[in-house]
Amino acid sequence: MSAMLEEMESLLEALENPTAQETGNRTYYTGILWGQEVVLVFSRWGKVASTTTAAHLILEHKVDRILFSGVAGAIDPSLRIGDIVIGTQLYQHDMDARPLYPQFEIPLVHRSYFETDDSLRYQLLQAATHFVQSDPLSETTKKEFRITSPTVKEGAIASGDRFISDTEDATTLKRLLPNVLCVEMEGAAVAQVCADYNTPFALIRTISDTADDTADIDFMTFVKEVATVYTKGIIYKYLSN
């Protein structure tokens, strides 16, 4: 699953024997990708869109695991644009059923985050680490986005139906959820679906911005020149291993 059309399209180029199924405003592409049977889909943005897409993958396509790739805004000061975060604990930062439940707690589930699958996460970590070490970006792209030596980190990610582009909002979120490294709009929703259906899940995000008032700058260029290159390279390494 990908939250960006461009990332999904970059994988689609390599898909062998593709067949497309259109339903519920999504197109699910089935085929063989670097030796493995896969379904590729652009989830669209936000928790609802990604939830329905994940449920369809599990119930109709009977997938045995889900990998989600996309971009994220950093709220941890150690992260730079072009770094990669592999999600561990996934929070819904807009979940707030107070006073019935503590802020962030998912009602009736007795928890405020879902975890990704250990084994999938480890494999993605290996693939991403090898990939960034191969120095895959052109000098022009690195210069354009001031990327020097990208790192791969594992850590908590928060999702919500809000593009965060305000320093105060980012600071508040970091204060409330100190272990969260970055924010995006789908991961924790897909994680909840996967938990409900016992489906292993992993999440990989490339840092595209710092969730402040510079967050919209060159966003689409970044997705085309960096995120799609990363996704394709990392998924290739993951699947071919």
Q: Choose the catalytic residue: 7, 105, 184, 186.
A: 7
Known catalytic residue at 186? no
**Contact status, residue 79 vs residue 207, Cβ threshold 8 Å:** yes
Rounded least distance, CB 40 to ligand ADE, Å: 20
Nearer to ligand ADE, 163 or 197 (CB): 163
Nearer to ligand ADE, 105 or 209 (CB): 209
Q: Which residues sit at the interface with ligand ADE, rule CB under 6 A?
A: 71-73, 163-165, 183-185, 208-209, 211, 215
Known catalytic residue at 7? yes
Q: Can you tell me whether residue 222 is helix, strand or coil?
A: helix
**Contact status, residue 222 vs residue 208, Cβ threshold 8 Å:** yes
Residue type, 227: A
Q: HSE (CB half, 13 Å, CA atoms) of 37?
A: 4
Nearer to ligand ADE, 4 or 239 (CB): 4
Query: Which residue's Cβ has the minimum distance to ligand ADE?
Result: 73
Rounded least distance, CB 184 to ligand ADE, Å: 4
- For residue 127 the two structure tokens come to 């693939």
Q: Which residues have CB under 8 Å from 147's CB, separation 6+?
A: 80, 81, 82, 137, 141, 226
Rounded least distance, CB 108 to ligand ADE, Å: 26
What whole-number distance in Å separates Cα of residue 21 and Cα of residue 12? 14
Q: Choose the catalytic residue: 105, 117, 209, 225.
A: 209
Find the helix packing angle between 5-12 and 228-240, rounded to 10°: 50
Nearer to ligand ADE, 31 or 187 (CB): 187
Nearer to ligand ADE, 33 or 185 (CB): 185
Q: HSE (CB half, 13 Å, CA atoms) of 130?
A: 13
Rounded least distance, CB 66 to ligand ADE, Å: 19
Nearest to 113 by CA among 87, 81, 152, 82: 87
What whole-number distance in Å separates Cα of residue 96 and Cα of residue 241? 41
Rounded least distance, CB 215 to ligand ADE, Å: 4
Q: Which amino acids are annotated catalytic?
A: 7, 209
